[in-house]
Structure formats: C-alpha cells, structure tokens
Amino acid sequence: AIGNANGAGLPPGENLRRQFERDVLAGLSTPQKALPCKYLYDETGSKLFEAICDLDDYYLTRTEAAIFNRALNEMASVLGRQAVLIEPGAGNCEKAEPLLAAMKNPRAYYPLDISPEILLEAQQRIQQRLPQLEIAPIFGDFTGDEVWGRLPPSAARQVIFFPGSTIGNFSHEQARELLIRFAGQLNPGDGLLLGADLVKDSVVLERAYHDSNHVTEAFNKNLLSRINSELNGDFNTEAFAHRAFYHSFRQRVEMHLVSLVEQQVSVAGRQFQFAEGETIHTENSHKYTLPGLQELLRETGFSPEKYWTDNNQHYAIYFAQI
C-alpha cells in the first residue's frame, strides 16, 4: 500500500478513489464548475479516446503519425541511436515502437503510466520485436514527483518523448511546470521530443472536438457516468449536452457539459444545483504557434533545435536539447 497524508496505509485504489471524490466535490463547488480532464480516462474513457483517434474529424493522431512516418530516420539520428527513451503517459506505447526500431540500438526504454495492464501488454509486444532492448515500465502519475525518483540512473543520453499533444491539456502555467520537471530529470546534452497541435482555422478545430460520429460527446459524458458509478452520483446524462468550442484569445478548445434544464444532482451525499445552461468545464486543449512553442521550450531551459510539421502546418513535433 502507498500511504499519503490523507490516507496512510490505504490500498492505492482507495487513495485514488478518495482523491477523485475530493477533486469532484471541489470542482462542482466553484462558481464555474470544472473537473480535471485526467478523470476522463477510466477504462471506458480510454477506449472512447482510442476511438476518437481513429475519427476522420480528429486530424491530430493521423497528422502526427504521418510526420513521424516521414521523418522517423532523421529523428532517430537526431536523438542519437543509443539514447535512453523515457515516455511519460506512454499508454500502449504505439508511438514509441517505430521510433525505437528506427533508433537501431536504443539503450533502454522507460515508459511511465498509471495503467499497469496496458504498459505490461505493450512491453511484451515491443520486447518481441526488439529482444535486445531493456524495457522497464514505471507505474505512476507523471505529473507527481514520486514516479520520477524511480527512474533508473543512466550514463547514456536520455530523451524524454512526449507526443500526442498531451502538453495541450495543461494550462500554460502547468505546461511550464511540467517541462521544468522534465528538464530537472535531464543532464546537459539530453533531449526532449515534443508533439503539439498548432493554432488553425476554428472550423477544423471545432469539428475535431465535436465530431459527427458523436464519439467525443460520449467521451465527455462518460465522466458523469463514472461519477455516478464510483462516487454514488445521480447525474442524468441525458440532461447534459456536449459542447466544444475554440476560444481564439486563449488559443484553446474548451470542452464543457451543459445542463439542459435547471436541476439538482447528488454526488457522494452532497447536493449540487445547476441552472439551465450552466456548464461543467471538463477539458482545455491548448493550441500553440511555432513561436509560442519555441518560447515555452526556451523559458523552461530547453534550446529548440529542430521541428517537423505537415504541409498544412496543423501539427508540429519539436526536438529540443537541455
């Protein structure tokens, strides 16, 4: 059992449930109701997110994949063919696999993720393809300190691999903190390979987050179902609508759940009032410009070296050194 100040000696699952409860109760108590987007990813939410990645409307995944496919060998040589690859939030490790193969002789791969099942399955798959590679999965939340302390020390060049535009789901302040945390893990000469979605036409952006197949709607609403089943909630998912819009001043897509009627909802024994039209803010997905990305990298101690993008400049992958 992992103890903490709020639940010493409790099983890790119970600690996570209590944290979820604290965050939901606090998030529903603020004037603009808001829930942390990390809670979108329970088992159902993770499957729905995988389905989103396959949608025509959601251009991010295929655009990033095309950039990787085209530039894989070049990236591998920029990274150094014997580097250690560290991937926070690795999930099924699908993006790292071709990169590791292209690196020819990578020293090691350390995927970090909260879900052991998915990581262990991915480890087996990659190990079969690359039998010589040392793979050490590390389980935990990469936004906390603890998990980083468990990374094996390495004399080889280390590269943190952070694709998927996950950086966009952090506020600018949190993104800076995260990159500073990454920088603290690295030594001079080490690198960061970062994927980020770029600012573009709002029609393209809004279609990606309000897809015609309604998968993103199901992904967003699943958060309410999760609260119902894990925190004894009574949300009527039919009484909420999915809303996603691009906020051009803040350069981000915001995802909300809109209450369609005036209603009261109970969660973990507490009552919450909703006016008709009131929203729960469930996610931000920040979009960057190329100069904005460079600035973020510089401010956090990195020197941007090279980037790859698609012909439409919809998406960028940056390599930066410390």
Q: Given the rule CB under 6 A, which residues bind ligand AVI?
A: 52, 60, 164-166, 168-169, 209, 216, 283, 285
Q: Which amino acid is at 29?
A: S
Question: Phi and psi at residue 102, in whole multiples of 5°?
Answer: -70, -25
Which DSSP category does 56 fall into?
A: S
Pick between residue 59 and residue 83 the one whose CB is nearest to ligand AVI. 59
**How far apart are alpha carbons 6 and 211 in whole angstroms?**
40
Pick between residue 10 and residue 53 the one whose CB is nearest to ligand AVI. 53
CB of 117 to ligand AVI, least distance (A): 19
CB of 275 to ligand AVI, least distance (A): 25
CB of 58 to ligand AVI, least distance (A): 7
CB of 8 to ligand AVI, least distance (A): 32
Q: Is 188 helix (H, G, I), strand (E, B) or coil?
A: coil
**How far apart are alpha carbons 259 and 280 in whole angstroms?**
8
Pick between residue 158 and residue 165 the one whose CB is nearest to ligand AVI. 165
**How far apart are alpha carbons 243 and 170 in whole angstroms?**
19
Q: Is 219 helix (H, G, I), strand (E, B) or coil?
A: helix
CB of 118 to ligand AVI, least distance (A): 15
Pick between residue 123 and residue 165 the one whose CB is nearest to ligand AVI. 165
**How far apart are alpha carbons 4 and 6 in whole angstroms?**
5
Pick between residue 21 and residue 50 the one whose CB is nearest to ligand AVI. 50
Pick between residue 52 and residue 99 the one whose CB is nearest to ligand AVI. 52
**How far apart are alpha carbons 253 and 116 in whole angstroms?**
30
CB of 39 to ligand AVI, least distance (A): 12
CB of 317 to ligand AVI, least distance (A): 14
**How far apart are alpha carbons 255 and 262 in whole angstroms?**
20
- What is the CA angle 76-177-24, rounded to 5? 115
Length of the chain: 322
Pick between residue 251 and residue 263 the one whose CB is nearest to ligand AVI. 251
- Name the residue whose CB lies closest to ligand AVI: 285
CB of 66 to ligand AVI, least distance (A): 17
Select from 73, 213, 88 the least CA-distant residue to 144.
88
Task: Look up residue 58 and give its two tokens.
Answer: 């959601």
Residues 158 and 86: beta-carbon distance below 8 Å:
yes
Pick between residue 21 and residue 94 the one whose CB is nearest to ligand AVI. 94
Q: Is 303 helix (H, G, I), strand (E, B) or coil?
A: strand
